[in-house]
Structure 1
Amino acid sequence: MTPAARAATATADTGRTAGPAHGAGKPLTLPAWPVVSILALYPLWWALGLGVLIFAVMAVPMLFLLLRRRLAGRPLRLPPGFLWWALFLIAVVVSLGALGVDPPGTIAEHATARLPGAAYKLVMYAALTVLLLYAGNLTEAELPKRRLVKYLGWLFVVTVAGGLLGMVAGHFQFTSPVEMLLPAAVRNKGFVQSLVHPYAAQIMDLVGGDRPRPAAPWGYTNTWGNNFCLLAGWLVVAAGQSRKRSVRFWAIVCLLVSIVPAVVSLNRGLWIGLGLLIVYVAARYVLAGKMWITGVLAVAIALLGLALTVTPLGDVVGARLDNGKSNGVRSFLVDRALDGIGGSPIVGYGGTRNTAGGRQSIAVGETSSCERCGNFTVGGNGQLWQLLYSHGIVGTAGYLGFFTYVLWRFRRDRSAIGVAASAALVTSFSAMLWYNSLVTPLAFMVLAVALLWRNSMEGDPT
């Protein structure tokens, strides 16, 4: 058999294009373990103090494996609309040149002092880009979509468990191994603490008296609420794909139990997101002619109404709606962000800024015992405001353009995976008004994109 015939036979057997001579013997497949280890073991990473840092850590082997496979002759696929995302990444890099600018009403600071925070965001955006490409280039043989959905459903269970932990042991926290390795001057910084110091809840006074608001294992209460919305649909899909009645039973139990920490979190953004999620999914199924969803929706609303009526949860909701203590701060920061955009509308300022004082006076500010007293973060109250302020119109257009294009491109995907993924992205658009997406919420958004993308190429497994 001639060399050409042997190459043709190899191509027919594998379904792939034969690589160049120097790639002979090198594996053309991608292992699933980098993605699986992030998702399946996330509680472990949180306990070790790695938390969101695991995405940057695992991006290294993922990038190496992608490059190795590319050199072995297998093409690297890019998701639809990736040019929009590339535009966003370029804007993030270019905007770093404005780190030394001090917009009116903000604390003056040298660019080098702002560089660590901006560099952290850039590294995380790059790491999640690698995650998007890696998860999207995995095949059904390498990591079945059903399995990826199960891991995302598992993380919803973890989110509910973390919420219950925050409710019953709000002051629970411990020093992680990674934290122990850091110098005291570093690990005592508030931002570093949020990365490496595991705690169950944030203690806040929103409805009279300090109360724990669930945060584990996502670091912040707002991130917990954001991830709750992004992951809830995946538990439903995973349970629907399972042939075991016990799995479906416990999934229903988990969903019912999740109502309690969702309410106790006092997270209005979470409540709005869940409402949007339910309405969107119901609308998709009704448009597909599956009218039975209206019955399910009616039962769900009735059960929720009953729970709010006959349990103390209704009083919690009422108290939260009557006490909008954060409204003034959010309005203040939105105004500051919109005012600041005029000074650098194209590329923004490269990062957030701290206000000079608070809403009512500039005669308050940071002290050694209170790093953030009086100094609110412009761009820290929602992904949309952070994009506009930090990366300007160009960066915002790239970010929104990518996810909007993905939603439009895959709008006809009526599979369970397609509806759940698009629902997650739709809720992210409302969440960006009050939540920041980096790191874990954006990670779950790009994984939703990867599932939509792979669904279009491989088909729905159900």
Structure 2
Amino acid sequence: MSTAATVRTQVSSVPSAAAPGAQVLPAWPLLAWLYGFPVYWATGLSLFVPIVFGSLMAAFLLLRGRLRATPGVLVWGAFLAWVVVCAVSLTGVMQAIGFFQRTIDLFAVGIAFLYYVNARERITPGRVFGGLAVIWLTVVVLGTLAVFFPDVRIATPLAQVLPGSLMGNELVRELVYPRLAEVQQPWGAEEPFVRPAAPFPYTNSWGMAYALLTPVMALIWTRLRRRGLRVLLAAALLGSLYPAAQTSNRGMFIALGVFLVFMCFRFFAGGMARAGFAMLGSLAAGIAILAGFGVFAAIAGRQEYSDTTTGRSTIYQATIERVLESPLVGWATPAMDASIGISLGTQGYAWTLMFCYGFVGLLLFLVFLIRIITVSWKVRSGAAYVMQGLIVTVGVTIWFYGLAVTQCLILLLAAAILSRASADGEKVFPRV
């Protein structure tokens, strides 16, 4: 039995039944979104998955009625309402298309949060962790292939039927003709930098997904009872360091470092000194492994030819100046700055929120993260700490890294697990 299959068989130790007269929500819409991830990538359907499964879950929720809202649901709802208000800043059809796609994604992951909260009879934390394991395995396998076959692009079935007008959009083209790696050779570099990207269009998205999902896999490893599965998963975790190292991705390693530091603090503050020292050991070992792989040298070498830090500071300054012209509702979508040559409202999800939805949108998003952390603080278990660590990691890294829909889904599901656990006294992840 695979690791993902083993994990999804876990059941909550707290029994629950549907409210009298209420329809039991089926598990398959949310689980199909997670477990089908590699299929959607290979077929080019990733762009449509959020709207399809978001709509299905919304329909089941409406049919059920009598919905419950655990902590965080209303804050995310307020954030979505403000996103809709910000449509007043739209000025053209192409802007509206981009705005609509981002809004659909935000609504879809919000519906996934609400669905998990209301589907306790069928969807346990373990089934969600199993789906996240599938995504992680997809990321690692494709990332490894990218190192050896960096120039490969996949012609998906959807690419054969899409009209040429849609194929002109860069993001659509990257999704239906996905590449395995970003191959970059800045001026002056002797050799190109091969950086894994698949199953995402860009390396930074790969790094963010890896940083969020690897702690989940480590958590799964601690919960497995079968020795054979523990050995296989340990080997996979060690093997995943190879494509991760090849990314020379500063943000990804910062994210993992933030997570480990938070876990150290959480364990020591919770009186779990042994686990805290284990985290400190993991942090030290991680630094040593990265140094041994030459990751720090690779990052420094890439910076010699591509100083993105200085470029980002210029973009951030220009972004703030534009947001101050429309501080409440922002500009709805990122906008190209001809003097810089890069779209403002990119280079970090916090800046996207600020530019597109104003300071109010950014504030509501941050309030959501804080609400989840504060309400779940008294849930004392290693699994809960891992979920909290993911929330904190996102709160730090959105200032320099973006969140695509898959990363947003991981975030919202971690929040939903904590929210339901804090409301119902449910164990976050018993041993399986």
Does the TM-score normalized on the shorter chain lie above 0.5?
A: yes
How is 1:89-238 mapped onto 2 (pairs within 5 angstroms)?
A: 89-100=80-91, 111-139=92-120, 141-205=121-185, 208=189, 209-238=191-220
| Structure 1 spans left out of the alignment, 5+ residues | 1-13, 20-26, 101-110, 359-374
1:296 matched to 2:296 = no
Equivalent in 327, 334, 347 of residue 381 of structure 1: 347
Report what 1:106 is aligned to: none
Report what 2:3 is aligned to: none
Residue identity opposite 1:159 in structure 2: V
Q: C-alpha distance in 2, partners of 1:340/1:113?
A: 20
Give, in angstroms, the shift of residue 263 of structure 1.
Answer: 1.9
Report what 2:227 is aligned to: 245
Going from structure 1 to structure 2, the CA distance change for 1:52 and 1:242 (only over 3 Å counts) comes to: farther
Contact 1:382 1:434 in 2 (8 A): yes
Contact 1:149 1:237 in 2 (8 A): no
Report what 2:360 is aligned to: 394
Going from structure 1 to structure 2, the CA distance change for 1:440 and 1:15 (only over 3 Å counts) comes to: closer
Aligned residues: CA RMSD? 2.2
Equivalent in 355, 379, 391 of residue 413 of structure 1: 379
Q: C-alpha distance in 2, partners of 1:16/1:159?
A: 36
Query: Cα deviations across residues 175-199 of structure 1 (Å, max 9, x unaligned)?
Result: 1111211012321321211332222
Report what 2:31 is aligned to: 36
Going from structure 1 to structure 2, the CA distance change for 1:238 and 1:52 (only over 3 Å counts) comes to: farther
Report what 1:365 is aligned to: none
Query: Cα deviations across residues 342-367 of structure 1 (Å, max 9, x unaligned)?
Result: 11011111111111243xxxxxxxxx
Query: Cα deviations across residues 219-241 of structure 1 (Å, max 9, x unaligned)?
Result: 22111111111111211222222
Going from structure 1 to structure 2, the CA distance change for 1:120 and 1:77 (only over 3 Å counts) comes to: same
Query: Cα deviations across residues 132-172 of structure 1 (Å, max 9, x unaligned)?
Result: 11122111x40221221122133222222122122111111
**SS at 2:49 equivalent:** helix
Give, in angstroms, the shift of residue 268 of structure 1.
Answer: 0.7
Contact 1:200 1:215 in 2 (8 A): yes
**SS at 2:183 equivalent:** strand
- TM-score, length of structure 2 as denominator length: 0.89
**Which stretch of structure 1 is more off in the superposition, 34-43 or 52-61?**
52-61
Query: Cα deviations across residues 354-410 of structure 1 (Å, max 9, x unaligned)?
Result: 11243xxxxxxxxxxxxxxxx311001111111111101211111111111111111
Contact 1:218 1:440 in 2 (8 A): no
Report what 1:88 is aligned to: 79
Residue identity opposite 1:99 in structure 2: L
Residue identity opposite 2:407 in structure 1: P
**SS at 1:34 equivalent:** helix
Q: C-alpha distance in 2, partners of 1:308/1:394?
A: 39
Q: C-alpha distance in 1, partners of 2:264/2:390?
A: 14
Contact 1:86 1:398 in 2 (8 A): no
**Which stretch of structure 1 is more off in the superposition, 336-345 or 195-204?**
195-204
**SS at 2:194 equivalent:** strand
Q: C-alpha distance in 2, partners of 1:78/1:309?
A: 46
1:339 matched to 2:339 = no
Going from structure 1 to structure 2, the CA distance change for 1:311 and 1:98 (only over 3 Å counts) comes to: closer
Q: C-alpha distance in 2, partners of 1:18/1:305?
A: 54
Equivalent in 423, 428, 451 of residue 417 of structure 2: 451
**SS at 2:225 equivalent:** coil
Contact 1:153 1:236 in 2 (8 A): no
Q: C-alpha distance in 2, partners of 1:318/1:326?
A: 12
Going from structure 1 to structure 2, the CA distance change for 1:240 and 1:116 (only over 3 Å counts) comes to: same
**Which stretch of structure 1 is more off in the superposition, 79-88 or 345-354?**
79-88
Query: Cα deviations across residues 281-334 of structure 1 (Å, max 9, x unaligned)?
Result: 122112222222344345434544553455444532442455552123211210
Give me the identity figure in percent.
26
Q: C-alpha distance in 2, partners of 1:354/1:79?
A: 39
Contact 2:89 2:331 in 1 (8 A): yes
- Higher gyration radius (CA): 1
Report what 2:11 is aligned to: none
**SS at 1:125 equivalent:** helix
Query: Cα deviations across residues 95-133 of structure 1 (Å, max 9, x unaligned)?
Result: 111122xxxxxxxxxx22311111111111111111111
Report what 2:13 is aligned to: none
Report what 2:45 is aligned to: 50
Contact 1:170 1:200 in 2 (8 A): yes
Residue identity opposite 2:193 in structure 1: R
| Structure 2 spans left out of the alignment, 5+ residues | 1-15
Give, in angstroms, the shift of residue 91 of structure 1.
Answer: 1.8
Q: C-alpha distance in 2, partners of 1:381/1:310?
A: 29
Going from structure 1 to structure 2, the CA distance change for 1:52 and 1:451 (only over 3 Å counts) comes to: farther
Q: C-alpha distance in 2, partners of 1:443/1:310?
A: 33
1:350 matched to 2:350 = no
Give, in angstroms, the shift of residue 211 of structure 1.
Answer: 2.1
